[in-house]
Amino acid sequence: MSKTWFITGASAGLGRGLADTLLARGDTVVATVRREGVLDDAQARHGERLRVLRLDVTDTAALRDGVAQAFAAVGRIDVVVSNAAYGLFGAAEELDDARIARQIATNLTGSIQLIRAVLPFLRKQGGGRIVQVSSEGGQIAYPNFSLYHATKWGIEGFVESVAQEVAPFGIDFLIVEPGPTRTNFGAALDHAPAMACYDDTPAGAVRRAVAAGNFADFGVAGKTVDAMIAAIDAERLPLRLALGSSTFDKVGEALRQRLALLQSQREVALSVMA
């Protein structure tokens, strides 16, 4: 049975890949973009099964209006994909206030407000699925991505809480955690002006690795999209979906280290109890 999807950030990267793949199999997609014309080619191929909505997720009022328009236009929406994101790169001291505000407004506040906007509609229609595109950076951290990590760790905590609140209404969540993937994300990173004092620090080493293109092994965008769709189509959703060898290995190691640290603190943890 075909589905209807709402996808933010659908002009490029995983969002565009999802839209193209879903439309090709016969589904209906409401795709949000920030620039006019970027989906004209897809619109010509798929006609009314693709509805394009110009939307900036940092504009909360417009976001709410756009969500209402989408549900009014297509009726039921089965899957909402919160994918729009912005990548800020630089040591914390190098970042200016405007960049920090944009990072939080796009990745964290924008995602929160999208989820809040769709919940009443999903509840009234008897359920649905919300997919939050996060990152391996929602579970681990690298130098120079501090604000990006803050938004990804933050949205994962938000989703874990809201998922418990709305499960009785038949609303399921999936947090997708891709590792580095060959999309335009790296090229679109907003690099803060570098400070020379960080050249010989881990931040400097990561900056050089990113510039050289050897920061990590990259997943294939098409395979990532296929894995996401397969998980979303399944009868039961896992709360998290890790994608890529980097994610599997590094997140696994981080979780083992955290568990070992917690276990080592058992006596002091219990010592504060009455």
Domain range for 172: 4-244
More confident residue, 1 or 68: 68
- Is the pLDDT score of 186 beyond 70? no
70-101 confidence digits (pLDDT tens): 999 999 999 999 999 999 999 999 999 999 99
pLDDT interval class at 58 (50, 70, 90) = very high
In a domain, 221, yes or no: yes
- Is the pLDDT score of 215 beyond 70? no
In a domain, 261, yes or no: no
pLDDT interval class at 218 (50, 70, 90) = confident
Q: What is the DSSP string of 54-103?
A: E--TT-HHHHHHHHHHHHHHHS---EEEE-----EES-GGG--HHHHHHH
Q: What is the tally of structural domains in the chain?
A: 1
Spatial CB neighbours of 112, under 8 Å, sequence gap ≥ 6: 155, 158
pLDDT interval class at 241 (50, 70, 90) = very high
In a domain, 263, yes or no: no
In a domain, 274, yes or no: no
Spatial separation of the C-alpha atoms in residues 86 and 153, rounded to whole Å = 15
Whose structure tokens read 């006019």?
Answer: 36
**Contact by Cβ (8 Å): 17, 24:** no
Calculate mean pLDDT across residues 172-183.
Answer: 88
23-52 confidence digits (pLDDT tens): 999 999 999 999 888 998 998 999 999 999
In a domain, 273, yes or no: no
The CATH number for 113's domain is 3.40.50.720
Write out the catalytic residue numbers: 134, 148, 152
- Backbone dihedral angles phi then psi of residue 93, each to the nearest 5 degrees: -70, -25
pTM: 0.94
